[in-house]
Amino acid sequence: MPSVTTFDYENALVCCAGGNRRALMQLYEQEAPRLLAVVMRILQNRPLAEDIVHDAFIKIWQNADRYHKGLGSARGWIYTVARNLALNALKYSQRQVLAEPDFLLDLCDKQVLDNEHPDDEFASDVFTQASLDVCLDHLENERKLCVLHAYVDGYTQDEIAKLLGKPLGTVKSWIKRSLAALKECLQ
């Protein structure tokens, strides 16, 4: 592994912007442990910090073309991405749970049809929502709740695990498998 002083962060970002996955892997190998340490200092929660570092590298990959040399060092930009995600997670992890699980399940069972919007786009949205509702009904209740908490409430996987009293790995697995099942059902 190259040392911090010899690693070319700017070139790595340029390569990432060009779609070079190897460059992202090298960047990850170079900085992930240090980024995790920085994020851990902010969050004081290892599972959430690991998720944030993962999300940071996804964001770095997706936004590498937005880095501009004139605005600062490439390494500084990488740390800013991770730090901002960590601060956002910290801000949102302080929120209270406002919805009870039964309420969320009831929410999925209800369809709201607005007769004042007869256009095709609205009809398509209603059809898509109805299809999604049917597919969600095929999921077990706990898995359905995981998806709803993640995508309706915006909770992190760590928050969902605490809310449901389940291990983080279980929640991650349920969400991943549930999304795959929903995708298959909707196709």
Q: For 10-19, 42-51, 88-97, 160-169, which range has the lowest pLDDT when averaged over its residues?
A: 88-97
CB 40 within 8 A of CB 49: yes
17: which 2 tokens?
Answer: 């912007």
When comparing pLDDT for 120 and 44, which is higher? 44
Q: Where are the beta strands (DSSP E) in 5-155?
A: none
Return the H-helix or E-strand segment holding 182: helix 168-186
Confidence at 53, pLDDT banded by 50, 70, 90: very high
- Give me the residue spans of the domains in the chain: 9-93, 101-186
Mean pLDDT of the chain: 78
pLDDT given for residue 62 in this prediction: 92
For 74-87, what is each residue's pLDDT tens digit? 998 999 899 889 88
Which of 58-62, 109-113, 134-138, 142-146 is predicted least confidently?
Answer: 109-113
CB 160 within 8 A of CB 47: no
How many whole angstroms separate alpha carbon 158 and alpha carbon 172? Answer: 9
As given in the structure block, the two tokens for residue 89 are 């997670």
87-111 residue pLDDT tens: 888 777 654 444 445 544 544 444 3
Is the predicted pLDDT of residue 155 greater than 80, yes or no? no
- 158 SS3 class: helix
Asked whether residue 184 carries a pLDDT value surpassing 50, the answer given is: yes
Distance between CA atoms of residues 179 and 187, nearest Å? 12
Query: What pLDDT was estimated at residue 167?
Result: 92
- CATH, range 101-186: 1.10.10.10
Residue 116 has pLDDT above 70, yes or no: no
pLDDT per position as a tens digit, 62-73: 999 999 888 788
Cβ atoms 11, 67 nearer than 8 A: no
The predicted model gives 144-162 an average pLDDT of 82
CATH 1.10.1740.10 fits 9-93, yes or no: yes
